Every structure is written in structure tokens, then in C-alpha cells.
A and B are shown apart, each in its own frame.
Chain A
Amino acid sequence: AQSVSQHNHHVILSEAASLELGCNYSYGGTVNLFWYVQYPGQHLQLLLKYFSGDPLVKGIKGFEAEFIKSKFSFNLRKPSVQWSDTAEYFCAVTKNTGFQKLVFGTGTRLLVSP
């Protein structure tokens, strides 16, 4: 079965620090990859997605992610975080062939201190 690993459960950064959140998945075939964000008290929103093409994907609010097929990874990055980036971030994966369920990682809580 597919699985998604997010090794950083809690991350604390100061404003202007750089961010990188790890995401690894277990499925060996072609996949579609997503990062979702959940701000405090809100529902999940799509941050960015990768289906094919350029492995460096740019999303909203200055976030980007890089797909490295050989490492089964899809790490999320932001050069300079802001206090408003405090949220929980979820990586999600689904197969690209046929109908499959979207599988989420366990999430990473990011706290950005002003």
C-alpha cells in the first residue's frame, strides 16, 4: 500500500529563516504529489501540486517543492518564512494510473516566531 512519511513533526523557526519540510512516499510507480496547508482553525487548502514536467513546482505564497524521483521525495521549501506561515503542512500522494485514493502524511506543525 502507498504510504507517505513526513519526518519533521514539529518545526519552530524565526521569521526570515528558510524552510524545508521533508516528504517521502513509498509507491514506486508514477504518482501525483500535493502539499496542503491548514492554518489554525481553518480547513485544508492546496499549496501546490505536481503531476508531470518540471520537477520544481511553484505554489502560492512563495512556496515551492522539488520532486526527486530517485529519492521518492517531494520536499517543500520557502526561502524566508513569515509569522503568517504558522500552520500544519500535509504532503499527499496518489497514483497516476487509474483511480486511487489520496494518501496523506501525518503532517508537520510549523511555528514561526516573530
Chain B
Amino acid sequence: NAGVTQTPKFQVLKTGQSMTLQCAQDMNHEYMSWYRQDPGMGLRLIHYSVGAGITDQGEVPNGYNVSRSTTEDFPLRLLSAAPSQTSVYFCASNLQGTPYTGELFFGEGSRLTVL
């Protein structure tokens, strides 16, 4: 199993550009989520999904969009990138429909810089 795979690992954008961070897991996990990690602020939840077709907002959803058309994939879209979105983004998944009963499995992260 590959686990949680994120692409790209690095990306530089100009303000106003759009892009999609890809996340895929091959563990048949129901729960998937996106976090951003910023110095001194820890990890903050952007969006999450408890299963295909179901998504919800986390702590910092503004400027981001998600969809969950399959169990395996959970892409994160930046519609119009802003310098405040410069961060490291982590995708994480969990086997059950909720995260609290088990371990979150993290991808290796995607480092995004917005100029």
C-alpha cells in the first residue's frame, strides 16, 4: 500500500492563480481531511470529508474548495491564490467515518508558496 499520496510536493504560484493539490489514499479510508501547517500555529483543519459525496468545513476554509467524488481522492482547490495561503498542506485519512477512534494517516505534505 502506498498510504496517503500528495502531489505536488512543491509549488510556487503567483497571486490570483488557481491550482489543485491532489490527495489519494489506497487504504479504503472513509475519512479524509486537509490541514495547513504554519509556524507557531500548529495544524489547522481546512476541510474534511466523512465519505464520498460528503464534505464539510474546518477551522480555516476560506479560499479553499474541496470535493469527494470517490473514496480514494480528496483534492483541495485554491481558486485565487493569495500570499496568506503560503503554507505546508497535509492530507490525512482515517479508516472510520470519524477521526476520533483511530489514527490519522498523513501524507508527506505539499509546500506551497504564493508570490
Which listed residue (B44, B48, B109) contacts A104, Cβ 8 A?
A: B44
Q: How far is the CA of A90 from the CA of B58 in the complex (A)?
A: 18
Which listed residue (A43, A95, A101, A106) contacts B107, Cβ 8 A?
A: A43
Q: How far is the CA of A9 from the CA of B41 in the complex (A)?
A: 10
Q: How far in angstroms is the closest Cβ of chain A from B83?
A: 21
Indicate if B81 sits at the interface (CB-CB under 8 A). no
Residues of A with C-beta under 8 A to B41: 106
Bitwise interface map of A from 85 to 114 toward B, beta carbon under 8 Å scored 1, else 0: 000001000111011111111110000000
Secondary structure dominating the interface of B: loop
Interface hub of A42, A51, A95, A101 (most chain B Cβ within 10 A): A101
Task: Given the known inter-chain contacts A43-B90, A44-B90, A94-B99, please indicate yes or no for A101 contacting B45, CB distance below 8 A.
Answer: yes
Chain B interface residue count: which class?
20 to 34
Residues A43 and B40 in contact, CB atoms below 8 Å apart: no
Residues B40 and A94 in contact, CB atoms below 8 Å apart: no
List CB contacts (< 8 Å) of B77-104 with chain A: 90, 92, 97-101, 103-104
Residues B58 and A101 in contact, CB atoms below 8 Å apart: yes
Indicate if A80 sits at the interface (CB-CB under 8 A). no
List CB contacts (< 8 Å) of A51-103 with chain B: 51, 90, 94-96, 98-103
10 other contacts beyond A36-B104, A102-B100, A102-B104, with CB at 8 A cut-off?
Answer: A43-B108, A44-B43, A45-B106, A95-B100, A98-B98, A101-B45, A102-B33, A102-B45, A103-B45, A107-B43
Chain A residues packing against B (C-beta within 8 Å): 4, 6, 9, 32, 36, 42-46, 49, 51, 90, 94-96, 98-107
